[in-house]
Structure 1
């Protein structure tokens, strides 16, 4: 029998997108011999269609645990970017000058201030810094602002990266550290015992005492095989990309950001259209373009050169799902729609927990059990 038919590792990560790659890299860096199984480009994922924000503001309202987790990830990002650059020579384009969320009326400004104030109160001793900035000051921060913008909220934690460079760097760093990458690896079955998992790939089987499900929307089908739950749905987002322009946007915003190459990415849309990524909605595209021009009128002179749609991985309440299986110890699940923002936490915080064999109590509110409690109530 070919020895590769039953290869044994310390850990198996199912999923080669941003979530899976960050965890696999973190596990390998912890000294665990890890195999990453990647279904390939046929998978429904947003890793290659991501807007690229490292975004803290707006996340975790009414859920301090989510705010703290997001904030911790933003703090971990500079070290992650530096480690990836050193390991691979690939710069992920991290810029963290803070981010802007624009308001277009006095009422919006007041509502935004109230929301940010609530986030600060819920942060408690952890702290939450923000400022409400008037249009007069904004004109000095971002040139060419439209007259309809009355102000914005700003936090110092926000930034942006290149999702494509990030995905490439995570894969390269993982393999450079000795990790085994298996592309086009379609999981056909999982045989689970406590601390012993056999993942069937059709032609061969991979075994390990640890198994991490990080396959995005695919986790909905895989989770029950190891005693876990992943109630997930796809949410489609669309992005428009302009031709390259001179660098004018020093700060990322929630609707427009400028890449290192000079292109502008325009986005922030939400559609419930199932798993459709092949078609695009002209009305949504017009709304995205209209809002971008309303914010920065000079964008109207630029040509749109590309557009795409991708699927976010959404739980019922929009927050991540992290769980450890009680029925099959050693099995874990990780799901979120913020693969870029949370990459720092996944590589530097979550992976060490998995390597140590237990999730920290701080992650218990992210368990999918919260949905069962809600349903019962």
Structure 2
């Protein structure tokens, strides 16, 4: 099968780029891997998040802002194409602080980031307990909650609806999605040939967006990126009456009423099992914020693997030795979906990433080791 562009990886990142390409009249094939592959999109918390992003790379903060600003139009366009509501809301987001030390540490961290940016526009503020109570009149806060940071650009969406809508949009716009795992990538004339063991697919350009599997595939076209998996576990309660009008880092209520509690950050290799220890840790923190959750039944616990680069920031690059081969990696697929569908997709069509994204090139990791 031939295409203008083949996307290797059908998670939120790969599907966002593929959707944007299909919008631009590109013949797109998405090779989505197999059912038992590790999939970060299955365990996504659903935040469209800006505050605090990019503490070690301010450009990541700016990139997250650009996507956040585009998200409303992005969600509306996807609805127009597919009829699927992403449950997107953008009224701000909270990071709860349980003592004065946490409050001051949060304030200092955000101030340092915005000083690096030379940014006078306040897109966040530190608020006291009384202000949090005003924002959340339907819930009684735990006695330890002394305040929070409020990010005005933050929001949330249903990640499963997002992935479903993206894949429906790709197909409505003429793209193809196949469940098969790419084994080898080879140069083929002016384009590329991808072998799966059963079939061969050809395209002028390819985008590797296969999550943790991108490391081995990228090495075949000069785009090796050091990656590690990081397990994140999430808890989900039964459906409750609305109590959380704003999402928070590690605590949000879906439109259906379930409360999501998360997430752990565990370096355990490729182990995607769930643990009682993680459930206890997540529950304990959530109950310190909202004690009434003690009466809610937990109905689900799951784990997934984040895609983590050495500095925790995204990677976007085109191969120098194999022009036309691109790679796109991040662990903020929901937040960045809007710019992936617009800016990254247009860059693939143009055959060149914009200069503003050079900071995200994988060559930043090629630092010689001391003898």
Instruction: Identify whether the pair has TM-score above 0.5, normalized to the shorter chain.
Output: yes
Whether 1:226 aligns to 2:244 is no
Cα deviation, residue 193, structure 1: 4.9
Match of 2:193 among 189, 198, 202: 198
The SS at the match of 1:307 is: strand
For 1:40 and 1:216, locate their aligned partners in 2 and report how far apart those are by CA, in whole Å.
Answer: 13
Which residue does the alignment assign to 1:103?
97
Q: In the alignment, is the contact (CA less than 8 A) between 1:194 and 1:330 conserved in 2?
A: no
Whether 1:210 aligns to 2:201 is no
RMSD after superposition: 1.4
The count of aligned residue pairs is 369
Cα deviation, residue 35, structure 1: 0.5
Q: Deviations over 1:106-148 (max 9, x none)?
A: 1211111111112222233584511100001111112321110
For 2:369 and 2:262, locate their aligned partners in 1 and report how far apart those are by CA, in whole Å.
Answer: 33
Which residue does the alignment assign to 1:153?
149
Q: Could you tell me the TM-score, scaled by structure 2's length? A: 0.97
For 1:96 and 1:173, locate their aligned partners in 2 and report how far apart those are by CA, in whole Å.
Answer: 23
Match of 2:265 among 261, 270, 286: 270
Which residue does the alignment assign to 2:304?
310
Q: Equivalent residues in 2 for 1:73-88 (5 A)?
A: 73-88=67-82
Q: In the alignment, is the contact (CA less than 8 A) between 1:255 and 1:268 conserved in 2?
A: yes
Which residue does the alignment assign to 1:3?
none
For 1:27 and 1:313, locate their aligned partners in 2 and report how far apart those are by CA, in whole Å.
Answer: 23
Q: Deviations over 1:249-277 (max 9, x none)?
A: 11000011000100000002111111111
Q: In the alignment, is the contact (CA less than 8 A) between 2:317 and 2:328 conserved in 1?
A: yes
Q: In the alignment, is the contact (CA less than 8 A) between 1:238 and 1:268 conserved in 2?
A: yes
For 2:189 and 2:326, locate their aligned partners in 1 and report how far apart those are by CA, in whole Å.
Answer: 12
Whether 1:296 aligns to 2:290 is yes
The SS at the match of 1:351 is: helix
For 1:13 and 1:130, locate their aligned partners in 2 and report how far apart those are by CA, in whole Å.
Answer: 36
Q: Deviations over 1:223-249 (max 9, x none)?
A: 011111121110000000000000111
For 2:146 and 2:240, locate their aligned partners in 1 and report how far apart those are by CA, in whole Å.
Answer: 25
Which residue does the alignment assign to 1:50?
44
Whether 1:188 aligns to 2:183 is yes
Which residues of structure 1 form unaligned runs of 5+?
Answer: 1-6
Q: Could you tell me the TM-score, scaled by structure 1's length? A: 0.95
